[in-house]
Structure 1
Amino acid sequence: MKIQRRFTTAGESVWNTVDWTSRSTKITNADGSIVFEMNNAEIPADWSQLSADIMVSKYFRKAGVPQTQENGTPELNEDGQAVTGPESSAKQVIHRLVGCWRSWGESHGYFDTPEDAESFYDELCWMMLHQVSAPNSPQWFNTGLNWAYGISGPAQGHFVADPETGDVSLADDAYSHPQPHACFIQSVSDDLVNAGGIMDLWTREARLFKYGSGTGSNFSQVRGGEEPLSGGGKSSGLMSFLKIGDRAAGAIKSGGTTRRAAKMVCLDVDHPDIEEFVSWKVREELKVAALVEGMKHLSPAQQQQAKDLDLVLDYDFNGEAYQTVAGQNSNNSVRLSHDFLESVGREEQWDLIRRTDGEVAKSIPASGLWNTICDAAWHCADPGVQFDTSINDWHTCPKSGRINASNPCSEYMFLDDTACNLASLNLLKFYNSDTRMFDVDSFEHAIRLWTIVLEISVLMAAFPSEAIAHQSWKFRTLGLGFANLGAMLMQAGIAYDSDAGRAVCGAITATLTGRSYAVSAEMAGELGPFDGFAENAEDMLRIIRNHSRAANGIARDSSEYEKLRLAPVPINHALFLDDSININNAGDLLGRAVQAWDEALDLGGRHGFRNPQLTVIPPTATIS
């Protein structure tokens, strides 16, 4: 592929495009105790202290990095061996990531010439140095450690897929194939100890949590309480197993360098244990209240004993009261079908279905269950809801299976046993508040390069199970998104909750996704479409046509949308045409959104697509 330069100049060092400074960083607990501290870290001078703290405390590798002296020569010990220690400069971190992506891309034919590979390297380094974009945290944690420093370690049970054939084998070590994916969806069967079953899932989850990734699963195959077991007796029910998984996730919170375990539990609205699932966290919150308030009524002797034991029970989410109860280590979501919502509206009964024989376990008022869901969410922010029917109506690969679940924050939804690696573009870097112009050319340039980065990351990655390794090779799902939309709208003087705000968001999002699909089709023309494209081609092109119609402003009540129960809200073209949007080149932004989807449809029709899903809007947290 040809890689054009937009931000850099050939022959000039990208590292000289910023001024550098030394910073001291310190992360403390609420009580002032130090969690992490490092002095003299080399950071771009215009980065905020918060950015420096995050880079150094979260993303600097803390061990195994060859150290150098001030003159740049390797530091050796008295035996002549290389001295190792932590990374000490943002240059090292950015170089190991971008250099690793470039190396894998070059070795697998992603660039037409060495000059294109060099342009790719410089442009990405520039964007990361200037905080235009960033990948998800597992890339920062894991990518390039072997490539840049030769860091290795015992294999952790990960699997890798041959880039050409898709044949899956166990990884030889822990780092030559990094784990760059943040988001996983894993299947779980109605089995206790065998592969693919409940206890096996906890092992697969631990493998992900260790390297900073998150995972979600739909547990609806697991039989409900009181359903019969094959060996006689009755099942203890889904909730007993979810509590085990909750405890396992809670134990894997590796502070200082990686984030706490991130976990999603999904359950279909017709599962026999749905009522208990919906109220799970409400019950646990009441237990916390009982512990905290009960502590105040202990006898003087008991209160002294608690003080001697350093036992403090309060409402601090990270305190011992919350650690004592269950359900605190996952996000919970109910999968709602269109039929259920219609039953709510008609005040009908709703059947809960046994998993072992498909018979009705019990019938309950649909509106009553809906009210319980809403009440629980009001009290403790869980469960969330996922609109199963609409999600599957927009599924690009329905011939390969349903979408049953999501990752922990629900931005990634695709087939079971797949993974998604994310990156986000910082919208503030594309908007000039002085000229009130949005730099669409730079935005599309960044979209193209980061789509290529995420695609390369698929071929270099290791995965926690054989099924995920194969599915990820076959489907190659990506997750490019953006950050700071609200801040950009604020600078533009556009209310977030306004028709103009929604129109701008629609145009930016349409440009992001449409351009990513166009780049994916371009890659398919050179590298071939994803392995599952042929069987899903008709459905995928139907989805692309529906996206294109929405970008073109086709009304919801039009008959043009194909096979959708609920038509999308299209971009409101009228607002762009009557100068209602406080961005001087708003018309150009709208035009690019339409053009991106038209090109995606045209190129995809000719070449297919390298990836069935390319964009998400994640909660960007530390990278925004």
Structure 2
Amino acid sequence: MTETTRTSRRQPKKASGLTIERVFSTEGVHPYDEVTWEKRDVVQTNWKTGENVFEQNDVEFPDFWSLNATTIVTTKYFRGALGTPQRETGLKQLIDRVVNTYSKAGLDNGYFASDKDAQVFEDELRWMLLHQYFSFNSPVWFNVGTSSPQQVSACFILSVDDSMDSILNWYKEEGFIFKGGSGAGLNLSRIRSSKELLSSGGTASGPVSFMRGADASAGTIKSGGATRRAAKMVVLDVDHPDIVEFIETKAREEDKIRALRDAGFDMDLSGKDITSVQYQNANNSVRVSDEFMSAVENDTMFGLKARGDGHVIEEVKATELFGKMATAAWECADPGIQYNDTINDWHTNPNSGPITASNPCSEYMSLDNSSCNLASLNLLKFLDEDDIFDVERFTKAVELIITAMDISICFADFPTEAIGDTTRKFRQLGIGYANLGALLMALGLGYDSEGGRKLAAAITSLMTGTSYRRSAELAAVVGPYAGYAANAEPHQRVMRKHQAASDALKPLHTNDSVVAKAANEQWAQVVELGAVNGFRNAQASVLAPTGTIGFMMDCDTTGVEPDFSLVKFKKLVGGSSMQIVNQTIPRALKNLGYGADEIEKIVAFIADHGHVIDAPALKKEHYEVFDCAMGARAIQPMGHVRMMAAVQPFLSGAISKTVNLPETATVEEIADVYMQGWKFGLKALAVYRDNCKVGQPLSDGKKGDGKKVADDAAATAAAAAAPAPEVRVEYRPRRRRLPKSRDGRTTSFSVAGAEGYMTSSKYEDGQLGEVFLKLGKQGSTLAGVMDAFSIAISIALQYGVPLETYVQKFTNQKFEPAGMTDDPDIRIAQSIMDYIFRRLALDYLSFDERSELGIYTSAERARYVETGSYISEEDEAEMPESESLKNDAGDDLRVDEGGPVQPSLIQASPKVEQETVGSAHTTTEMMEGLTGHAIDAPLCMTCGTKMRPSGSCYVCEGCGSTSGCS
């Protein structure tokens, strides 16, 4: 302790400026002259009306940038009104606008040893952005170099005190932050509870009541003027007397949402009626202490304390309170959990105040009234031709990015004076990465494997160690952060904790051995240089969701997430998409030792099946390499937790990640995830149980556990391997004509105001055999097309094509007219085809067949809300055995003593038809078929595509919109 204190007081030797080494760019060659450019047209249409909502022609991008990245950057980041000379027309203008601002600010503030070093810095930064090696967070692209306030931070933490002035100020400050395209979080625990008295003698309202006003305010402000909701986090300490009300708040609102949905209201995330319920604009998290978690372990009592003098108002059983948290999260995914003592044990500035809250996605954790600007590296770019992780280039990239991020604080604007003061005083940064999942797969390492975790930990350690080493070097040039002097010892203590964690890494392979050795060298320099120079930045690294910027970099995976699925969809000119097997799969197979012929067969199998189970020539011990977030071999919840635990010791902040659980997960499993997160040393954790929220579409009935899929696939493979019979038999379908007189029904319908009639007839056994559709005036093109379609469907039905096949193919098709219907069982249809085949399913398929497709009547849905079962016990008793509510294991699917049990869904088919380019099916629908899962995420409010998880947010692969931090 004495020696550390003495070294921390040494006077640093002032350096003259940074000398920047040229690593990526070429001396004498402009980065733009090294690539081929092409002009493209970017057009976006409204998914409901079909009309163009955005169009910009002849935008200029490098030929290796995907159309998806082009679209996202053009629509999100180009500045200037469309159709005016001020509108940016290409990537060069965008990058120059940002890079030139950073370079000039670096020169003006004394960062560089010479003008030449500034020019090299500029060239290197420009080259890395051009080649998608990294990206700044979205506010940089929105604001830097424009006439708008130069807001560069995406993450903010506010504070609120126990006074009406402070509470109203909270509403105002959040509004300014949301307007600038960012998100904010805060802790409400200073506000006295509803069980305490006011100074006037009245009873306090409590923090939950004030959350209503903030929620309503957030719901009216769309971040950055865009179409997504504001992103915000609300935290409450576990010892607050109103903690139970806080925990159950969103679960009770979810009950309202279900009831309103079943009454016919539009309660989707972007639905017009969702605003009638409260608390939907924030993520909620409970801040737990080690004392509380120990009380849960020991099953003892725990005290809830008054906000004023801290006396215990009420004692509760810790296990019961913890159980309420897990139950609420089971019901609606809120609240998440934050581990207070762990967070503050890694706090570099405790003498300036504790860390009480986080940003909306939980990765940034620092002082109240502070902000953090983010940037993320594309890890896959640092694999060389021999698939060795390039430590030198990665280290140099981190140096440059950290330098740029720190420079941005010199010219940045902030939404409030308090945030500006704190940020300039502590200079918090948040470097991170994307494409970890793709990197591990390319190297032949399973995401949920010891080898995968070792490499991820080593890379994270190298990134943060290099960042703090550069921060110490910057401190020698432009001085340490203003708050460092008061926090020198705790800051250095945290650096030693990071160093010790890095030293404890035990690598398994060549890559992580090399990376871990380099990381240890960086941390040794951090401790040595920091003791002399101090540090320029209080914080250096986080792992953010990287939603929109991940698409900008053409990343296969976002943040710390695993790969989403083995088959992706490539956007083509004209708006269609093409199904392709992940390009990392052949690379992974090569690294695993497979030959060209074997790779070709395995890739072809994956293209057909969407998974690797029983792929030809693929060894079973290699299956784990191809495990994804979705699909037949989905990564188990604890696999996500273990990866978070591997990288957490090497981050200044935390990790934006949601642990996904299947619909069948229990409250106890969620409680275990929360408990293990604490034991593993995580700082925060969020969970999401499939289909726990109404704001997500229902599962499509194709889910199944991996074992059943594996068994089915094995049986299929065994059958295929059996010797073929010698006699060839040719089968021809026979048409089963309807009798001259047959029963039928005529249904009138209206979809978004478009009216029509459907007449359907059936055989004597009740099976559908004929459909006629009447739309439009007789003799019109529409009427003729529908007549022809009806005849084709009717003949196919009579030749034996199952109705279920048509329901699978035509439901969820999206085209106009689409919207509200006059059918109480089908309140919203995505097209007339979607409505017709849902109606036919309800009229002619058995309950068992419909439940497999996820199609229920309004009465069945209402009954499920009340009882946990879609059908009454009386009705089930009268059903034939084949339609009884039993799953394949014979389990009863009605409500049992443990609570509602979710219906079993059919297993994913081992054979999925490959869709062709230009198919009417959407990208999402094809992905559902290939993965065997419904993608459990909201619909994008910009383009209508189903979004996918990204950290603790959702991101749209179609247009790049996010539901939270960008």
Aligned partners of 1:470, 1:476: CA distance in 2, in Å? 10
Q: Which amino acid aligns with 2:302?
A: W
Structure 2 counterpart SS, 1:200: helix
State the AA in 2 paired with 1:202: Y
Q: What is the one-letter code of the residue matched to 1:321? A: D
Distance change (3 Å), C-alpha of 1:254 and 1:521: closer
Q: Displacement, 1:607?
A: 0.7
- SS of alignment partner, residue 404 of structure 1: coil
Q: 1:505 to 1:254 in 2, by over 3 A?
A: closer
Q: String of CA shifts for 1:371-401, please: whole Å, max 9, x gaps.
A: 1111111221111100000110111111111
Does structure 1 conserve the Cα–Cα contact (< 8 Å) formed by 2:328 and 2:334? yes
- How do 1:591-602 and structure 2 match up within 5 A? 591-602=517-528
Question: Which ranges in structure 1 are unaligned for 5 or more consecutive residues?
Answer: 68-82, 146-150, 152-173, 296-312, 554-570, 576-580
Q: Which residue of 1 aligns with 2:34?
A: 17
Partner of 2:131: 130
Q: Is the 8 A contact 2:195 2:241 kept in 1?
A: no
The 5-angstrom pairing of residues 122-271 of structure 1 reads 122-145=123-146, 151=147, 174-175=148-149, 178-193=150-165, 197-254=166-223, 257=226, 260-271=229-240
Within 5 Å, give how 1:385-400 maps onto structure 2.
385-400=337-352
Counterpart position of 2:323: 371
Aligned-residue CA RMSD in angstroms?
Answer: 1.6
Q: Distance in 2 between matches of 1:290 and 1:60?
A: 43
**Which residue of 329, 337, 346 maps to 2:281?**
329
Give the aligned partner of residue 497 of structure 1.
448
CA displacement 1:49-81 (0-9 Å, x = unmatched): 1111110111111339xx9xxxxxxxxxxxxxx
- Partner of 2:20 in structure 1? 3
For the residue of structure 1 that corresponds to 2:253, the secondary structure is helix
Amino acid at match of 1:186: L
SS of residue matched to 1:517: helix
Q: What amino acid is aligned across from residue 128 of structure 1 in structure 2?
A: L
Give CA-to-partner distance per residue, 1:463-518, whole Å, 9 cap, x none: 12222111111111100111110111011110001111110011000000000000
| Aligned-pair CA distance for 1:322 | 2.3
Q: Give the conservation status (yes or no) of the 8 Å contact 1:59–1:257.
A: no
Q: What corresponds to 2:534 in structure 1?
A: 608
CA distance in 2, matches of 1:102, 1:314: 50
**C-alpha offsets along residues 337-371 of structure 1, whole Å, 9 cap, x if unaligned?**
00000111111122111213323232211111101
Q: Deviations over 1:385-431 (max 9, x none)?
A: 00000110111111111010000111110111111000000001101
Question: Where do 1:460-479 residues align within 5 Å?
Answer: 460-479=411-430
The answer (yes or no) to whether the contact 2:182–2:224 under 8 Å persists in 1 is: no
Q: Specify the alignment match of 2:394 in structure 1.
A: 443
Take 1:289 and 1:381, find their aligned partners in 2: how far apart are those partners?
15
- Alignment correspondent of 1:588: 514
Q: Which residue of 2 aligns with 1:290?
A: 259
Quote the Cα distance in structure 2 between the aligned partners of 1:462 and 1:408.
20
Local SS of the residue matching 1:395: coil
**Residue of structure 2 aligned with 1:482, choices 424, 427, 433:** 433
SS at 1:320 equivalent = coil
CA shift in 2, pair 1:460/1:344, >3 Å: same
- Identity over aligned pairs, percent: 46
Matched pairs, number: 532
Q: Larger radius of gyration, structure 1 or 2?
A: 2
Tell me how far apart the structure 2 counterparts of residues 597 and 320 of structure 1 sit (CA, whole Å).
53
Q: Using the alignment, how far apart are the partners of 1:346 and 1:13 within structure 2?
A: 65
Q: Distance in 2 between matches of 1:329 and 1:84?
A: 37
Q: Deviation per CA, 1:308-346, whole angstroms, max 9, x where unpaired?
A: xxxxx2342111232221111111111010000011111
Q: Residue 539 of structure 1 corresponds to which residue in structure 2? A: 490
The DSSP-based 3-state class of the residue aligned with 1:590 is: helix
How far does residue 585 in structure 1 lie from its aligned partner after superposition?
A: 4.0
> Could you list the runs of 5+ residues in structure 2 that have no partner in the other structure?
1-17, 551-966
TM-score, normalised with respect to structure 1? 0.83
2:333 aligned partner = 381
CA 1:502/1:587 → structure 2, altered by over 3 Å: closer, same or farther?
same
Q: Is 1:572 the equivalent of 2:506?
A: yes
Q: Structure 1 CA distance, aligned partners of 2:198 and 2:114?
A: 61
Q: Which residue in the other structure is 1:273 paired with?
A: 242
- The CA distance in 2 between the partners of 1:508 and 1:450, in whole Å, is 16
Corresponding residue for residue 114 of structure 2: 113
Deviation at 1:191, TM superposition (A): 1.0
Q: 1:42 to 1:258 in 2, by over 3 A?
A: farther
Cα deviation 1:543-567 (Å, max 9, x = unaligned): 11111111111xxxxxxxxxxxxxx
Alignment partners' CA distance in 1, 2:33 and 2:445: 36
The one-letter amino acid of 1:324's match is: S
> Secondary structure at 2:273's aligned position in 1?
helix
Which secondary structure state, in structure 2, belongs to the residue aligned with residue 267 of structure 1?
Answer: strand
Confirm or deny: 8 A CA contact 1:397 1:539 kept in the other structure.
yes
**Aligned pair partner of 2:59 in 21, 35, 41:** 41
Partner Cα distance (1:48, 1:507) in 2 = 30
Q: How far apart, in 2, do the equivalents of 1:33 and 1:224 lie? A: 51
Does the CA contact (< 8 Å) of 1:211 and 1:258 recur in 2? no
- How many Å separate the matches in 2 of 1:14 and 1:49? 21
Which residue identity does 2:527 align to in structure 1?
Answer: L
> Is residue 354–residue 361 contact of structure 1 (8 Å, CA) maintained in 2?
yes
Correspondence 1:352 to 2:321:
no
1:20 is displaced (CA, Å) by 1.2
2:520 matched to 1:551?
no
Cα deviation for residue 230 of structure 1 reads 2.3
Amino acid in structure 2 at the alignment position of 1:420? C
Conserved? CA contact 1:252–1:260, under 8 Å: yes
Partner of 1:519: 470
Query: What amino acid maps onto 2:304 in structure 1?
Result: L
Distance 1:315 1:247 in 2: 17
Equivalents in 2 of 1:537, 1:403: separation in Å? 17
Q: Is the 8 A contact 1:216 1:406 kept in 2?
A: yes
Give distance in 2, aligned partners of 1:519 and 1:200: 37
Give the conservation status (yes or no) of the 8 Å contact 1:349–1:366: yes
Task: Measure, in 1, the Cα distance between the counterparts of 2:486 and 2:368.
Answer: 17
* Alpha-carbon separation, structure 1, partners of 2:292 and 2:226: 43
